[in-house]
Amino acid sequence: MQTETYMQQLEESQKQPITFKEIVWAIFITLVSVYSYVTYGTLMDIYEIGILIGTAISWIWLGRFWPSMRPFTYWVSALTILALWSYHNHGNVFEAKDTAFFLKFLVSSESATMWMSALLVLATATYFFALFNKSEFTAKTATTMVWAAMVFGFVGMMVRWRESYIINFDYGHIPVSSLYEVFILFIVMTGLMYLYYEQKYKTRALGGYVMLVISAAVAFLLWYHFDRGAHEIQPLVPALKSYWMKIHVPANFVGYGGFAIAAMVAVAYLFTERSLKKNPESTFAARMPSLEIMDDIMYKVIALGFAFFTIATVLGAMWAAEAWGGYWSWDPKETWALIVWLNYAAWLHIRMSKGWRGTPMAWWAFIGLFITTFAFLGVNMFLSGLHSYGEL
């Protein structure tokens, strides 16, 4: 019933007449895509051209399906152009990051990442402050902070992409290769997914909980940056010099983001349920979404994450066949990816076939976070294999 209702809403939204703003949006994305091809087409193979076209079409659709992505993209584009302009107009491009004002304090990859990190930590505290003080203005402020953080995070990735070519043309790569880069990707993917569901369900009460897992990722990122110097751009290992990376890794992290959100919504669900059991008139529970809504969000984000994680796993197998000569080698990363897939496949199967809801599924979603975290990070820390390029 929930799936049917969602599909009906999607069909109704697609039947809405196209507005002038949507036409401008489509023209904007098309022009950016054409410019990218004209400027960098000689560096692309046929598969990368296909990825560019597919990304443009998907982004146009996303802007129609979720209008908030339009101003987000405009802001990202403007700040990225500012960064590229600053590099282009500085006398010594290698010193620009440390001397050009906008790069040093705002839009270099490092500066943008620091802004993203600070805003997300502040947003976490602000969401909880708003929840316990019932302040709608404060909650809106927290949401604005997260949107701003997502802009800076995305700008940081885009500018890092350019910086990799500035440092050494042979180093140039899309910034989703190292553990440092994919942590930024995870933060941005998870933050944007949360913002979508915040708008869809019209509640900000879950913001603090979801931001906790994102702030944990920020803490790791900052440690990795300052203690290990992981922000330094390094050349790619040969296996990563492939168009597969451009589609496999982002799809993977939509999955990770969905699973992380589900786990934190599960935490909110369990706290709310416990509060209601102690006191049916609980003021805390009254501030939270209903248990039914939180249960529905868990289901939706796990279903979305599972779909993308499945696609990523298939793409990873195809990439492995090209890079290492076999679709599957029981490498630790592959094995744990399979464990994650089986875990959420079982979660969805039990929910849809047996009708399980509520507390057991919330606990399962929460425990799933630890399984996912080990697959994402633990394998890199404690195991070795063909994916050893992600070690700490």
The full DSSP string for 352-382 is III---SHHHHHHHHHHHHHHHIIIIIHHHH
Buried b (16+ CB within 10 A) or exposed e, 33-69: beeebeeeeeeeeeebeebbeebbeebbebbbebeeb
The Cα 230–Cα 243 span in angstroms is 23
Convert 87-121 into a string of H (helix), E (strand) and C (coil). Answer: HHCCCCCCCHHHHCHHHHHHHCHHHHHHHHHHHHH
The whole-number pLDDT of residue 319 equals 87
pTM for this entry: 0.92
**Neighbour-count burial of 91, counting CB atoms closer than 10 A to its CB (0-12 exposed, 13-18 middle, 19+ buried):** exposed
At residue 96, what is the residue type? A
The Cα 268–Cα 265 span in angstroms is 5
The whole-number pLDDT of residue 347 equals 97
CA end-to-end distance (rounded Å), the chain: 45
The whole-number pLDDT of residue 378 equals 83
Asked if 309 and 342 touch (Cβ cutoff 8 Å), the reply is no
Residues 6+ apart with CB under 8 A from 123: 142, 143, 145, 146, 149, 207, 211
The Cα 10–Cα 4 span in angstroms is 10
Tokens, residue 66: 């979720």
Asked if 127 and 139 touch (Cβ cutoff 8 Å), the reply is yes
Q: What's 91's DSSP letter?
A: S
Q: pLDDT, tens digit, for every residue of 233-261?
A: 988 887 778 888 899 999 999 999 999 99
Nearest of 240, 103, 88 to residue 173 by alpha carbon: 240
The Cα 12–Cα 8 span in angstroms is 6
What are the backbone dihedrals phi and psi of residue 178, each rounded to the nearest 5 degrees, phi first? -90, 165
The whole-number pLDDT of residue 112 equals 97
Nearest of 384, 1, 52 to residue 392 by alpha carbon: 384
The Cα 388–Cα 133 span in angstroms is 47
In the chain, % helix, strand, coil (3-state, to 5) comes to 80, 0, 20
Kindly list the distances between the CA atom of residue 40 and the CA atoms of 34, 36, 86, 331, in Å, as whole numbers in the listed order. 10, 6, 20, 35
Return per-residue pLDDT of the chain as tens, 392 residues. 444 454 455 555 556 788 999 999 999 999 999 999 998 888 888 999 999 999 999 999 999 999 999 999 999 999 999 999 999 888 788 888 888 999 999 999 999 999 999 999 999 999 999 999 989 999 999 999 999 999 999 999 999 999 999 998 888 889 998 999 999 999 999 999 999 999 999 999 999 999 999 999 999 999 999 999 999 998 888 777 888 889 999 999 999 999 999 999 999 999 999 999 999 988 999 999 999 999 999 999 999 999 999 999 999 999 888 877 778 888 888 899 999 999 999 999 999 998 899 999 999 999 999 999 999 888 877 666 555 555 56
The whole-number pLDDT of residue 384 equals 61
Q: pLDDT, tens digit, for every residue of 339-378?
A: 999 999 999 999 999 889 999 999 999 999 999 999 988 8
